[in-house]
Amino acid sequence: MVDGIVSSRITTPRLTAQVLEVPERAGEPVVFVHGNVSSGLFWQRQMLALPAGYRPIAVDLRGFGGSDPLPVDATRGLRDYSEDVESVCAALELSDAHFVGWSMGGGVVMRLLRDRPTLVRTLTLVNPVSPYGFGGTRDAEGTLISPDGACAGAAGANPDFVRRLSEGDRTDADPFSPRNVMRTFYVKPPFVVPDEDELVESMLSTVTGEDNYPGDGRESQTWPGAAPGTRGVLNTMAPNYFRLDDLHTVEPKPPILWLRGADDQIVSDTSMFDLAYLGQLGAIPGWPGAETHPPQPMVTQTRAVLDQYAAAGGTYEEVVIANSGHSPHLEAPAEFAAALSRGLAMH
């Protein structure tokens, strides 16, 4: 753990969660929510970079880091996670807070905004999962490729990566080791993150299996022949379970800052983790073509939902950080911290 960060375990009616904080920091609470296959440790240096007057808090989601390895009900979308975060805020006696969510954590905090808007002072989305989930949609409006969510969910997980994750592989000997996946996709190569060994351990804290990562699957009559099951992490983001096309209806509407790396390979209109895009590239056989299975326009979808939010009376700002990938908070820490500080001051 980076000097200046301390951890504790907070027990709520829902779970016992590991929480990272900066001792003796007081002020407006800023709650950081990590992404998939990671933990609050990915936020440490941005927590320390917050200016005076803010209290940084990073929460480990269930099944990650030091939080309870509870099963995940995918049919609730990301609500298992958002309600866990809400329960930690209640245990810490936070009546409201700024929320910062990265990747899957961006979906978690959007879900929190949709369900509990009065809890949110500002919302910062960092390379967030699309408001229409991950995979299985075809256009800016989030139209499903198939009603069963085919082309999304746990069936899309790379089995070699899952195996190496479950075995605790710390090496860089294989392209699908957690270390190499971080080097290749979490950031823009050839960047190597500070604290790499600690962040690999963070990845390896992920609980694997059908109840957690990646989740279960089922057969589908639609290409590629599999659809999301009802359990586990990846299925929570399947578009038949997770959709936020009504985000513009919340009241009040806190300001939203959308921060993203320009060269993200994970959340992108051409994502290397989108089965339809991989099919278009020929990496998955039998792709039916762009008429029925175009790549999911993830960034376009997010912009469309946020434009609708703004048209309904909200405000948002999109900030694109050049020469960075999926983790601009790690790759461009000074630029990220400056943008985040501006976003926190928007309320």
Would you mind telling me the total number of residues written for the chain in this entry?
Answer: 347
Say how far apart CA 226 and CA 293 lie, in whole Å. Answer: 14
Q: Give the structural domain span for 189.
A: 6-344
pLDDT in single tens digits along all 347 residues of the chain: 999 999 999 999 999 999 999 998 999 999 999 999 999 999 999 999 999 999 999 999 999 999 999 999 999 999 999 999 999 999 999 999 999 999 999 999 999 999 999 999 999 999 999 999 999 999 999 999 999 999 999 988 999 999 999 999 999 999 999 999 999 999 999 999 999 999 999 999 999 999 999 999 999 999 999 999 999 999 999 999 999 999 999 999 999 999 999 999 999 999 999 999 999 999 999 999 999 999 999 999 999 999 999 999 999 999 999 999 999 999 999 999 999 999 999 98
pLDDT, residue 258, reads: 98
My answer on whether omega of the bond before 224 falls inside 30° of 0, hence cis, is yes
- Report yes or no on 181 lying in a domain: yes
Say how far apart CA 223 and CA 278 lie, in whole Å. Answer: 12
CATH of the domain at 18: 3.40.50.1820
Phi, psi for residue 313 in degrees, rounded to 5: 115, -5
pLDDT, residue 347, reads: 83
Q: How many CB atoms lie within 10 A of CB 293?
A: 24
Helices 104-115 and 79-91: crossing angle, nearest 10°?
A: 70
pLDDT, residue 34, reads: 98
- Report yes or no on 326 lying in a domain: yes
Residue 209 burial class via C-beta count within 10 angstroms: exposed 0-12, middle 13-18, buried 19 and up: middle
- Report yes or no on 154 lying in a domain: yes
Contact 40, 20 (CB under 8 A): yes
- Report yes or no on 328 lying in a domain: yes
- Report yes or no on 274 lying in a domain: yes
Question: What amino acid is encoded at 311 in this protein?
Answer: A
Taking alpha carbons only, the member of 70, 65, 18 closest to residue 231 is: 70
Say how far apart CA 20 and CA 43 lie, in whole Å. Answer: 9
Whose structure tokens read 């609708």? Answer: 308
Q: How many CB atoms lie within 10 A of CB 58?
A: 27
- Report yes or no on 1 lying in a domain: no
Q: How many CA atoms lie within 13 A of 212 on its CB side?
A: 20
Say how far apart CA 187 and CA 98 lie, in whole Å. Answer: 25
Say how far apart CA 240 and CA 148 lie, in whole Å. Answer: 7
pLDDT, residue 155, reads: 86
- Report yes or no on 220 lying in a domain: yes
Say how far apart CA 39 and CA 59 lie, in whole Å. Answer: 8
Is the full-model pTM beyond 0.85?
A: yes
Total domain count for the chain? 1
- Report yes or no on 18 lying in a domain: yes
pLDDT, residue 24, reads: 87
Which stretch of DSSP H or E encloses residue 203? Answer: helix 196-204
Contact 112, 43 (CB under 8 A): no
DSSP calls for 81-117: HHHHHHHHHHHTT-SSEEEEEETHHHHHHHHHHHH-G
User: What residues form DSSP beta bridges with 29?
Assistant: 55
Q: Across 180-237, where does the E strand assignment appear?
A: 208-209, 213-214, 217-219, 226-228
User: What residues form DSSP beta bridges with 123?
Assistant: 99, 256
